[in-house]
């Protein structure tokens, strides 16, 4: 450290600290990668702007998450807070038609269930696990600046605690797991709105919602309606997460408080309204926009973007936590390789790029079409020709990164979708035109 640097630190009140890896964000991606890298012997610092437990949306997990929990050593803790989820159901608000899907009927029968969780509890479990693994965790510490990301050499990160203390970190590698804050993508000018999809969300927790009996109690319910779709997610403690993912124009039409606006929106979906006739909100109703984006890059020479810090896609298939944690496992291997064998870092980063882009790409094909009449028809009247239904259920279960041979059947499903669309040209044309108008930002 030079005399000038030391004087600058004294004036700013910041203290320079060293670390191998600095992780921005203590959500599922950040806590997972921090734990894995600490176990590999690296000095890891994790900075989280909030203090856990804290509210977060995205409570529905996938069967593909469960092996990751076991590898992290948190399986028992997740089971203790989880609502058993054996499958999902899709319901049409227009005619009440519905179709249930069970994970046990997917191609790989070894992953028959998942869980729904309160994210405040779930995220705290993962964060504390990172600390137990040896990562230094600083909560209430917000990143203010990142310098030299993407260049050869160390990255400088300036942060400030919520009590006013300022810190200056020097890291060999930075991992951005800041979620929808997209710290690095924003600072480096990498973030782009997704031109193929745009939506907003209104959500909250309710008590008194009507649940299904028996084994169906933990199912996530997806309701299509005129302005988008709803989720209905039962939680272990009796609360239910209710949310509407809507086109931007609809949220922009709001002229009343959010709670009244969500009530009015629920009334537009009679099957959901019937299940909520005795329900009341037990958390503030919140809304968020700019719901679909990605970064133009997944990495640089000394940084990675994980999970939502790289891309956020519509949550209709509950893929967010699974994609975040999977990217963290791949990211941990990548950072470890870059730090231990710098000469092989380019190859490791290329592998990381392919892996991280794959998940959003595979889910996006379905997301871009999930509100179309043809896709509703296929979901509400599924057939297992050429094992297409089993392959689709594998996608819903998050089984897209392993060796399950689902891809020929998925190609057949996509071909069937195209054929049905061609057989109904007027309907398909009107749906495509309406969607092109809907995805325009408000």
Mean pLDDT of the chain: 93
Which pLDDT score, from 0 to 100, does residue 196 have?
87
Strands (E), 103-225: 114-116, 136-139, 141-147, 155-161, 166-176, 191-193, 200-207, 220-225
Residue with the two structure tokens 């968020």: 288
Query: In the prediction, which pLDDT does 267 show?
Result: 97
Per DSSP, 211 falls in state P
With respect to residue 165, please indicate whether it lies within any of the assigned structural domains: yes
The span from the CA of 330 to the CA of 351, in Å, is: 9
Task: Tell me, yes or no, whether 60 lies in a domain.
Answer: no
- Token pair 């299940």 is found at 275
pTM for the structure as a whole? 0.94
**202 and 282 together in one domain:** yes
- Of 356, 383, 404, the one marking the end of a domain is 356
At residue 218, the pLDDT reads 97
Whether residue 261 is found in the same domain as residue 176: no
The answer to whether the beta carbons of residues 200 and 291 sit under 8 Å apart is yes
pLDDT digits over 124-152, tens only?
Answer: 999 999 999 999 999 999 999 999 887 87
> Is-contact 167 15, C-beta < 8 A?
yes
- Beta strand ranges found along 25-105 (DSSP E): 44-48, 83-85, 87-92, 98-102
Same domain, 127 and 165: yes
DSSP labels, 27-47: SHHHHHHHHHHHHTT--EEEE
- Same domain assignment for residues 276 and 417: no
Cα distances (angstroms) measured from residue 65 to each of 61, 113, 329, 346: 7, 10, 12, 28
And the tokens for 258?
């959010």
**Which run of H or of E encompasses 236?**
none
Q: Let me know whether 208 and 224 are in one domain.
A: yes
Whether residues 388 and 256 share a domain: the answer is no
pLDDT recorded at residue 366: 95
Q: Which domain range does residue 146 map to?
A: 3-54+120-193+293-356
Domain membership of residue 369 (yes or no) is: yes
pLDDT at position 3, please?
36
Which pLDDT score is estimated for 195? 86
Can you give the pLDDT at residue 10?
A: 40
CATH number at residue 34: 3.50.50.60
Rounded CA gap, 277 and 327, in Å?
Answer: 40
Answer yes or no: is 222 within a domain.
Answer: yes
- The residue whose two tokens read 């203010």 is 144
In this prediction, the residues of the chain whose per-residue pLDDT falls under 70 are 1-15, 290, 441-442
The pLDDT, as a whole number, for residue 4 is: 39
| φ, ψ for residue 303, nearest 5 deg | -155, 155
Same domain, yes or no, for 301 and 281? no
What value, to the nearest 5°, has the Cα angle with vertex 245 and ends 421 and 64?
80
Give me the torsion for CA of 254, 255, 258, 264, rounded to 10°. -70
Q: Are residues 209 and 278 in the same domain?
A: yes
Does residue 49 sit in the same domain as residue 95? no
Structurally, the chain folds into a number of domains equal to 3
Which residues 6+ apart lie within 8 Å of 242 measured at CB?
203, 204, 205, 206, 209, 230, 231, 232, 233, 262, 266, 272, 276, 279
Query: In this structure, is residue 59 part of a structural domain?
Result: no
The C-alpha torsion from 142 through 147 and 149 to 150, rounded to 10°, is 160
**Do 103 and 241 reside in the same domain of the chain?**
yes
Backbone angles phi, psi at 146, to 5 degrees: -130, 125
Give the pLDDT confidence score for residue 150 in this predicted structure. 79
CA distance 145 to 265: 40
């Amino acid at each position: 450290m030079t005399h000038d640097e030391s004087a600058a630190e004294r004036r700013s009140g910041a203290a320079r600290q060293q670390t191998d890896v600095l992780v921005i964000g203590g959500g599922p991606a950040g806590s997972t990668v921090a734990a894995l890298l600490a176990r590999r012997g690296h000095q890891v610092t994790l900075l989280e702007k909030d203090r856990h437990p804290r509210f977060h949306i995205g409570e529905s997990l996938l069967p593909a998450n469960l092996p990751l929990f076991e590898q992290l050593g948190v399986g028992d803790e997740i089971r203790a807070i989880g609502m058993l989820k054996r499958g999902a159901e899709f319901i049409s608000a227009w005619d009440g038609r519905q179709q249930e899907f069970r994970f046990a009927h997917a191609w790989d029968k070894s992953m028959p269930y998942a869980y729904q969780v309160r994210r405040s509890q779930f995220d705290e479990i993962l964060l504390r696990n990172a600390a137990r693994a040896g990562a230094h965790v600083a909560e209430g510490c917000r990143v203010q600046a990142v310098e030299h990301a993407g260049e050869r050499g160390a990255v400088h990160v300036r942060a400030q605690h919520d009590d006013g203390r300022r810190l200056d970190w020097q890291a060999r590698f930075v991992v951005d797991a800041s979620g929808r804050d997209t710290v690095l993508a924003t600072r480096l000018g990498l973030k782009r709105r997704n031109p193929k999809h745009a939506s907003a969300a209104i959500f909250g927790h309710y008590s008194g919602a009507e649940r299904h009996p028996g084994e169906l109690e933990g199912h996530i319910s997806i309701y299509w309606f005129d302005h988008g779709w709803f989720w209905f997610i039962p939680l272990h403690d009796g609360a239910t997460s209710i949310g509407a993912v809507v086109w931007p124009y609809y949220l922009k039409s709001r002229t009343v408080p959010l709670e009244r606006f969500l009530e009015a929106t629920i009334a537009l979906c009679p099957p959901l309204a019937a299940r909520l006739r005795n329900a009341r909100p037990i958390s503030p109703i919140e809304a968020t926009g700019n719901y679909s984006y990605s970064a133009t890059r997944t990495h640089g020479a000394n940084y990675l973007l994980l999970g939502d810090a790289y891309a956020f896609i519509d949550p209709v298939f509950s893929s967010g936590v699974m994609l975040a944690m999977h990217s963290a496992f791949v990211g941990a291997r990548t950072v470890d390789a870059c730090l231990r064998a710098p000469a092989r870092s380019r190859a490791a980063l290329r592998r990381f790029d392919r892996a991280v882009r794959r998940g959003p790409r595979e889910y996006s094909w379905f997301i871009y079409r999930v509100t179309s009449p043809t896709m509703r028809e296929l979901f509400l009247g599924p057939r297992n020709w050429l094992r297409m239904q089993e392959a689709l259920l594998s996608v819903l279960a998050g089984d897209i990164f392993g060796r399950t041979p689902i891809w020929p059947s998925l190609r057949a499903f996509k071909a069937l979708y195209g054929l049905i669309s061609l057989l109904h040209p007027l309907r398909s044309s009107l749906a495509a035109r309406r969607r092109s108008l809907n995805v325009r930002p408000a």
